Amino acid sequence: MYSTTLLTTFALSYVLAKSDLSNRRFPDGFKFGAATASYQIEGAWNIDGKGVQLWDWYTHTYPDRIDEQDTGDVACDSYHKWREDIDLLKALGVNHYRLSISWSRILPNGTVNNINPTGIEYYKNIFKTLRENDIEPLVTLYHWDLPITLHEIGGWTNPLIAEYFAEYARICFREFGEYVKTWITINEPQSTCSGGYTAGAKAPGYSLEAEGLYLCAYVHMLAHAKAYHIYDEEFRDSQNGRISIVLDSAWSEPASNSTSDIEAAQTNIEFGLGIYANPIYLGNWPKIVIDNVATRSTLEGFVRSRLPQFSQEEIDFIKGTADFFGLNTYGTGLVTLHNKVDEDIGIPSYTLDKGTTSWADPSWPSDVPWVRQVPWGFRKLLKYVYEKYGHPEIVVTENGWADKTGTLNDVDRISYISQYLSALLDAYYEDGVNVSGYTVWSLLDNFEWTNGYTQKLGIVQVDFHHDNRTRTPKDSYYWYQNVLQTKCLVENCI
Ligand SMILES: *[C@@H]1O[C@H](CO)[C@@H](O)[C@H](O)[C@H]1NC(C)=O
Ligand SMILES: *[C@@H]1O[C@H](CO)[C@@H](O)[C@H](O)[C@H]1NC(C)=O
Ligand SMILES: *[C@@H]1O[C@H](CO)[C@@H](O)[C@H](O)[C@H]1NC(C)=O
Ligand SMILES: *[C@@H]1O[C@H](CO)[C@@H](O)[C@H](O)[C@H]1NC(C)=O
């Protein structure tokens, strides 16, 4: 149905003109893919037995918090058009498709007493069709759509949510494990905990600066580890798959070569990525996080640290629960010191515990604030993750470019992705980083959370003004298709 014709003339001339890209070929076995998430594409928010989830509630209750008061009620209508999505993936030539399961489509009340067979059938059909098309599913169990019933009992601040998540995960392993060999427990806990429970910028919209992020991170770590152990103990032998988590991070670049800025950049990444990666790959929270929060909590008059303390049993339970490192990244920040650990005591706050500020260099290409084209930052991040976290195999599970126009002639997206893939090749060949896959975000223009439909990240355009949600491949789609065929970013690779 979609043309497999290689490239538009434009995209081809673009590739030929780019002599600054790596001329190395992608290694044998390197996997390319594209990604989506349930709430951002499915629509069908209230049919076929699906329960209400956090983002349904958030967009309906606080329409003013979403650009143009939009919702994911229909989104790309992939609930009905998923076959067309798979046709697009097939013609693109990807090795894998990263998608997520909507918890409330499987368990409308969040709990296992009420299983929705129609929801199970929906995903089974997708997985079967992917198999028929030789596309490996990378399946995320939780991409931010928490059943509303579980939000109402405290959401990610209630440690029992970890139990509910584990029980849901077990059902997914049981029902879908025949088809799914790569599992991702949770997508970007940092985005949820900082955006949803501290900055108030994402659902559920809380500004719990004192301890929201720490509680949320604590519960996410327990939830992830429980699901990992269930897979490991009950399913791995018979299903032979692997399981990990997806963590997001920008690169933290010191604003200058001063000792203070270099330390600030290290602290900044520990208070970001480190809060989630450290417990899983190294054990416990990063030391600087433990120390800073404890020091400030004491000065603020608390009788214990605002950071929940892991028991030794929990540390051991969480450590080592990842079969690879799933990494999402979109940009880089310049970092400097905002306050020392004993300064600005007053209002208890994650931001002051961290004590850093970061910003983007205005010369870095960007059309929306959170995506900046800084390929050298990506290379440094890959090297950092590889060295810091014990040389894990890294799968880039999301990376891509956002624009506001949604143009089909998306030269900026091609530029961004080609530069990032080139940086990835440099990380692999020059720095020895074991990065085994790359996943473009996103297959489709979709519901970009609080930015609604104003920010487009798809390599396929979706017409949100038409009931059919017509899909049209962009130039970047054809460009990526060519890379997948040639395994090469330039005219001739060595
Ligand atoms: C699930 O939630 C719905 C809506 O709140 C409620 O009507 C129903 O009784 C619940 N079902 C179960 C089995 O808990
Ligand atoms: C820091 O030092 C390095 C090596 O001397 C140099 O390349 C870089 O530009 C310096 N960075 C800043 C921000 O001054
Ligand atoms: C990368 O990691 C995988 C999984 O651990 C391993 O099989 C492979 O040999 C590694 N490749 C390199 C180049 O280190
Ligand atoms: C909408 O899609 C249906 C089914 O693919 C097709 O028959 C119909 O012609 C489309 N309508 C328009 C206006 O594109």
Is the separation of the CB atoms in 445 and 460 below 8 Å?
yes
pLDDT tens figures, 302-352:
999 999 999 999 999 999 999 999 999 999 999 999 999 999 999 999 999
Say which ligand is closest to the CA of 112. Answer: 1
> pTM of the full predicted structure?
0.96
B/e letters for 80-106, b = 16+ CB within 10 Å, e = fewer, are: ebbebbbbbbbbbebbbbbbbbbbbbb
List % helix, strand, coil for the chain (3-state, nearest 5).
45, 15, 40
pLDDT band at 200 (very low <50, low <70, confident <90, very high): confident
Class of domain 9-252+373-386+397-486: alpha beta
pLDDT given for residue 19 in this prediction: 64
- Counting ligands in written order, the one closest to the CA of 257 is 2
454 lines ligand 1 (CB under 6 A): no
Mean pLDDT, the chain, rounded, equals 96
Q: CA dihedral in degrees (348, 354, 356, 359; nearest 10)?
A: -100
Q: What's the pLDDT at 325?
A: 99
Q: How far apart are CA 277 and CA 258, in angstroms?
A: 27
Strands annotated E in 154-199: 182-187
Cα(460)–Cα(473) distance, rounded to whole angstroms?
4
Our measurement of the distance from residue 342's CA atom to the centroid of its chain's CA atoms, rounded to an integer in Å, reads 34
Catalytic residue among 84, 136, 175, 188: 188
Partners of residue 356 on adjacent β-strands: 337
Q: What's the Cα-to-Cα distance from 455 to each of 11, 120, 325, 486, rounded to whole Å? A: 22, 31, 27, 30
pLDDT value at 475 more than 70? yes
Helices (H), 189-343: 189-190, 197, 212-230, 236-239, 259-269, 275-277, 287-300, 312-318
Report which ligand 2 atom has the smallest distance to the Cα of 261: 13
* Angle at CA of residue 395, ends 323 and 449, nearest 5°: 110
Radius of gyration of the chain (CA): 22
Domain segments of the chain as ranges: 9-252+373-386+397-486
- Closest to 212 in 3D by CA, of 341, 304, 349, 311: 349
Angle among Cα 350, 356, 362 to the nearest 5 degrees reads 125
The lowest-confidence range among 3-12, 137-146, 163-172, 397-406 is: 3-12
User: Beta strand 460-462 with 471-473: parallel, antiparallel or unpaired?
Assistant: antiparallel
Q: Is 256 in the pocket of ligand 2 (CB under 6 A)?
A: yes
Encode pLDDT of 212-247 as tens digits. 999 999 999 999 999 999 999 999 999 999 999 999
Could you confirm whether 398 is annotated as catalytic?
A: yes
- Mutate which of 251, 253, 257 to test ligand 2's pocket (most atoms within 8 Å of Cβ)? 257
Question: What amino acid is encoded at 35 in this protein?
Answer: A
Tokens representing residue 87 in the block: 């046709």
233 as an active site residue: the answer is: no
Percent of residues, the chain, with pLDDT higher than 90: 96
- Give the number of other Cβ atoms within 10 Å of residue 451's Cβ: 18
